[in-house]
Amino acid sequence: MLDQILTGLVPQYNWDNIPERELRPGVTQKVFRGDNVVVGLTTLHPGMQTSPHSHPYEQIFMIGVQPGLRMPLGSRCSAYVSSPMTTVWPALLPPLNLTT
C-alpha cells in the first residue's frame, strides 16, 4: 500500500512515452518538467546543424555517444567528452560548434 501512495506522489517518466520534437534538422528532443526543473533528452544526429546560443543558467549534459563529442568553451578552447561522462556547462557560455 505504501508503494502505491509513493508512486502517486512521486512522478515517473518513461522516455519511450514522451513525444519527440525536432528542434532543427538533425536535432531531436524529449522534455519533461518538474516544479523547478526541466529535464531534456536531446539527440544529435549525423549532419546536424549547429545553433550557437547561451542560457542564463548552467546545464548538465550526460554524454551517451561514442567515440565522443567536442564541446567548445568560448572561442579559444574546448573539452572532449565521451560516454559515460557527465559535464556541467557554465551559465552564459555558448556552445559554438559540436563535433563528433
Examine residue 95 and state whether it is found in any structural domain, yes or no: no
87 CB contacts (<8 Å, ≥6 apart)?
A: 60, 61, 63, 71, 79, 81
Examine residue 18 and state whether it is found in any structural domain, yes or no: yes
Which residue segment(s) compose the domain that 70 sits in? 2-89
Q: Does pTM top 0.85 for this prediction?
A: no
Examine residue 100 and state whether it is found in any structural domain, yes or no: no
Examine residue 97 and state whether it is found in any structural domain, yes or no: no
**pLDDT (tens place) for every residue of the chain, 100 residues total:** 666 666 678 888 899 999 999 988 888 899 998 888 888 888 888 888 777 777 788 888 777 777 777 776 666 777 788 777 887 877 877 654 454 4
Q: How many domains, in total, are found in the chain?
A: 1
